[in-house]
Structure 1
Amino acid sequence: MERPVKVKVDHLTKRFGDLLVLDDVSFQVKKGEFLCIVGPTGCGKTTFLNSLTGLYDITAGSISIDGEPADLKKHSVAYIFQEYSTMPWLTVEQNVQFGLSIKREKPGTVRRQAEKYMEMVGLTPFRGYYPDQLSASMLQRVVIARAFATEPELLLMDEPYGQLDTELRYKLENELLGLWKQSGTTVIFITHNIEEAVYLGERILVLSNKPTSIKRELENPLPLPRDIAAPGFIALRQQVTDLIKWW
């Protein structure tokens, strides 16, 4: 059965003065899809996310969620930034509860949801710790658990593992895939790491250099969990690499 369209980007254009960053970008994201967007550093990937969330006014075109103009007051959207965004004065548990509290969920719901997602990412033994007592990977777990605890309809992730070493990144990526499969959340994942895009995405959008357009859309049929040494993985990774290399 064909999944319905969750996000529709239609002829999106963004200028900063005379600088054209996004040039007539159009694509769709299906409900429950894990979409990776990959492109050269500085090509405008983050500008797209900031346009979707309304942090930037778009110059032309439109972005819709479930057929309506994207509006964070109406649509449940979570955003995980490149930088760690834990609040240092709150414990792990309080950080995970924070988004639910902002949404004014009932205290019992806040506790249950936080408990559920802390357990899923291995944070329960550290619930009383503060961020300055945690490693980099644990900090990212807090941020991810906080995002999923609100059970958003759309999760935006902007290079969340860029500061981690390879071993930690794979571990957290596997946890992320587990959370995504259980929750059914639609995920748009931004990265400049080609291997990460091939490891995670059901579909990969390859962007050009600025002014940014979509160079290619690639389906990723490789079964999960993915083997980075498998011939199919290596072939798809090389295909994406070649697309980015020859802009």
Structure 2
Amino acid sequence: MEDVKVKVKVDHMTKQFGDLLVLDDISFEVKKGEFLCIVGPTGCGKTTFLNCITKLYEPTRGEILINGEPVNLKKHNVAYIFQEYSTMSWLTVEQNVAFGLKMKKLPKDVIQKEVAEVLEMVGLTKYKDYYPVELSTSMLQRVVIARAFAVKPELLLMDEPYGQLDVELRFKLEDELLNLWKKTGTTVIFITHNIEEAVYLSENILVLTNKPTTIKEKLPNKLPQPRNVVSPEFIDVRNQVTELIKWW
């Protein structure tokens, strides 16, 4: 019987595209409520891995389990935040955030309550009637995050969502993400090539090699939160990850 505390189990997963071996016999577990960051070089297959979880790709060998069962997006509540800002330009902020809840055909009063709650969490209540074209870059990303959390996902996948933002905006949104994660208990798998971001956010850091991609190490991150990026302890963990990444 599977450990009920294990949310995601990746079991000897391999992904090939023709003769190109991208992911090579990868195995690891993500505990329920864990915040896992995955780091690796550009093009090593981080996004391919997430696309296997969402069933866009089928693993060539091995499997991915959620709650001990093969991934089934009709059964498992999985949300995905992409690198691009995936707001719908013809919908207001409120309508964008409500979209997933409407797809689930929830009662109107439930939708209104959930949307109001998550808009308040990300500081967008007074912008609920705005359209995406009227919003700043950071606000657009807040809309996307709010939409993901509104459906109360058991698993949230994030693919370099802050890669295009400047440092100040990135830290602000990372703090908001951590607050939402703590409030909701959602399991998060966060892809990034930014080592400092991985150390700032994670409970564990999975370091990948270059293609054909394997796991180099799963490094626990025991730093207390909130984290100070200039503290000796933070710099020490960052250096540990950097050393792992140096020798591809």
In structure 1, what is the equivalent of residue 106 of structure 2? 105
Which sections of structure 2, spanning at least 5 residues, go unmatched?
Answer: none
In percent, how many aligned pairs have the same letter?
71
In structure 2, what is the equivalent of residue 46 of structure 1? 47
1:56-205 correspondence to structure 2 within 5 Å:
56-205=57-206
Counterpart-to-counterpart distance in 2, 1:102 and 1:241: 42
Q: Provide the TM-score with structure 1 as the length reference.
A: 0.98
Amino acid in structure 1 at the alignment position of 2:148 = A
For residues 74-116 of structure 1, the C-alpha deviation after alignment (integer angstroms, 9 at most, x for no partner) is 1000000000000000000000100100111110111000000
Counterpart-to-counterpart distance in 1, 2:178 and 2:214: 27
In structure 1, what is the equivalent of residue 239 of structure 2? 238
In structure 2, what is the equivalent of residue 19 of structure 1? 20
Counterpart-to-counterpart distance in 2, 1:17 and 1:82: 26
The alpha carbon displacement at 1:244 in A equals 1.0
The alpha carbon displacement at 1:57 in A equals 1.3
The alpha carbon displacement at 1:189 in A equals 0.4
The alpha carbon displacement at 1:3 in A equals 7.5
Which sections of structure 1, spanning at least 5 residues, go unmatched?
Answer: none
Counterpart-to-counterpart distance in 1, 2:187 and 2:107: 25
| Pairs aligned (count) | 246
Counterpart-to-counterpart distance in 1, 2:134 and 2:142: 14
The alpha carbon displacement at 1:242 in A equals 1.3
Counterpart-to-counterpart distance in 2, 1:42 and 1:241: 18
The alpha carbon displacement at 1:65 in A equals 0.3
Amino acid in structure 1 at the alignment position of 2:111 = V
For residues 207-237 of structure 1, the C-alpha deviation after alignment (integer angstroms, 9 at most, x for no partner) is 0000000001100000011000111110111
Q: Provide the TM-score with structure 2 as the length reference.
A: 0.98
Counterpart-to-counterpart distance in 2, 1:145 and 1:4: 26
